[in-house]
Structure formats: C-alpha cells, structure tokens
Amino acid sequence: MPSTTYLPMGHYKAILWDLDGTLMDTGPGIFAAFRHVQKLKGWPEIDDKTLHTLVGPPLVQSYMKTFGISETEGIEASHLHRAYQKKYSYQLSLSYPGMAELLMQLKDRGYLLAVSTLKGEVIARKTLEAGQLDQFFDTICGVTPNHITAKKSDIMQRALDHLSLTTRDALLVGDSRFDAFGAWKKMMPFVAVTYGYGFHSAADADPWHPLHISDSVDDLNTFLSTL
C-alpha cells in the first residue's frame, strides 16, 4: 500500500475530518436508508453484516455492488437514499463521546477544521447539527447533486479551497481505506481510527502507513494534542 506519512509534526494549519464512523456513529441512519430503498425497489433484503460494510464507501458504488445494478440505477437509488436520510434517518446519528471536547480544544489551539465526507452535503450538515458538532467546523463539504459520483480526494480539495490552504497545510482523520486512499491521492498525511466502520484493527490500517492509529476518541485526543 502507498504511504500516507509525509510531513513532520507541528506543520499543520488544518485538520480535515471524515464524518461517518469518525466524528459520529451514523450507522443506524444509513442502515435505515438502505433498507428503505431496498423495500421500495423490491430488492433482496440486506443482512446486518453487509450493512456494516456500507458505512463510508461511495454510495452509488455501494448500491451497484450490493444489488448488482447499473450506474444509472445506482445513481437513482442514491437519490432515494439521500432523500430519506435528509427527511428522517439523519436524526438517528450520534456523536462519539468526547468528540465535542476534542474539537473544542483544537479550535482553541487555532486549528482550522473541515469536514470532507462522501455523505450528501445537506445531510452532512443536518447530521452534524443534530450531533451539535457543526459549530466547530470552518467548512463542511460533501457530495452535491451536481457531482453525485465525486471521489474523496475531490471533496478534500474543495474543503482546502474553502480554507485557502494547500495539501501541505493539512492532514485527514478517517476510518476507512477510502479516506486513506483520498489522503494518498492528495499526498496528505492521514490519521486512522479503528472505532468506526472501516478499519476494524490496527492491522487493517497499517498497510497505509498512517501517522497514527487510534482505537478511541481519547487516544485520538492524546495524539492530536502533540501536533
């Protein structure tokens, strides 16, 4: 795997954050939306094990892979999914204990904070508001209707543009290989967390050579306090 370790500590001006499984436990809301679309379409029921693998990856791809459908059908399913999340299931998400305190400390230290998520941008904002975390972020970037198949690296770049920064000014915190690959594509350092839905252990994240691997919000707080 490529390395996502690039610059020495103390260099960073901003921290970019994944949302699903990193800032908040959004699984219950995502599960509800997948099941809603599956029933609406009359597709085979999704088992719990499969559902847990669908938190974080690009939504269109998830529908295509799970149900064996075309990209056009996947895009249609993603619109139905996000409409349901926007109206109902975003409310099922919870911020991880200690996350608000961690973000407050980083803001107090002068860091710029941004969300870069493959979640729909409107849903991301509503989810963060429900979890009372939106107040800590200088920008919140997600998938927009005009760029439904955007990649993680595209959304990271948009966040950097909003902050008027370059990839050398920031690092990314995330819980999956999609985050790690986005960081690698942007040549940005990456901090992995294993308490979410993507990486289940340090062994899963190790091949990406992250700056650090955290198994809890407390450990992440301890590491980020050294930056």
CB 44 within 8 A of CB 37: no
Give the mean model confidence (pLDDT) for residues 218-225.
Answer: 97
Name the residue among 22, 4, 17, 16 with its Cα closest to residue 197. Answer: 22
* 216, two tokens: 């809890």
| Predicted pLDDT of residue 136 | 98
- Which structural domains are found in the chain, ordered by start? 14-24+95-224 (3.40.50.1000), 27-92 (1.10.150.240)
Q: Answer yes or no: is pLDDT of 151 > 60.
A: yes
Instruction: Provide the pLDDT confidence category of residue 3 given band limits of 50, 70 and 90.
Output: low
pLDDT in tens, 106-127: 999 999 999 999 999 999 999 9
> Rounded to whole angstroms, how far apart are CA atoms 202 and 213?
6
Q: What predicted TM-score, i.e. pTM, was given to this entire model?
A: 0.90
7 token code pair: 């610059």
Q: What is the pLDDT of residue 145?
A: 87
Whole-number pLDDT of residue 6: 54
SS3 139: strand
What's the average model confidence in pLDDT over 159-187?
A: 96
